[in-house]
Amino acid sequence: MSVNEYNRAQKRALQRQGTLDAEGMPAVRTQERRPPSGPSRGGFRPRQFLDEVVLELRKVMKPKRAELTNYASVVFFTLVFMTALVYALDYVFSLGAEHLFK
């Protein structure tokens, strides 16, 4: 799509973004060097890392014994049900295949 194919609203939006200049031509972008953001580039500090890990782990909500038992039982019974379902389907399909290729 060339510059002439933009409508007025598109040109204004592109000018606000800095993609087009005032005449509607593509703006020339200069490479700006920004200082690195975030923590200083001092290297890895194991003690600081461990302190931050401990702070984050304190925010974690641990389940109560009843909740943990409930979740574990749901997972166990779901596992038993799915295993039984796969076994039953495998048995039915094997009977069908045996009957088909007999």
Measured CA to CA, the distance from residue 96 to residue 102 in angstroms comes to 10
- Number of folded domains in the chain? 1
Digit-by-digit pLDDT tens for the chain (102 residues) are: 565 677 888 888 888 887 887 777 777 766 666 666 665 566 889 999 999 999 999 999 889 999 999 999 999 999 999 999 999 999 999 999 999 998
Domain-embedded: residue 56? no
Q: Is 84 exposed, middle or buried (0-12, 13-18, 19+ CB in 10 A)?
A: exposed
Enclosing domain of residue 89? 63-102
Domain-embedded: residue 93? yes
Domain-embedded: residue 33? no
Look up tokens 């509607």; give the residue: 24
Q: DSSP 3-state assignment of 41?
A: coil
Q: What is the pTM of this model?
A: 0.44
Domain-embedded: residue 74? yes
Given its phi and psi angles, is residue 2 left (phi above 0), alpha (psi -120 to 50 degrees) or beta?
beta
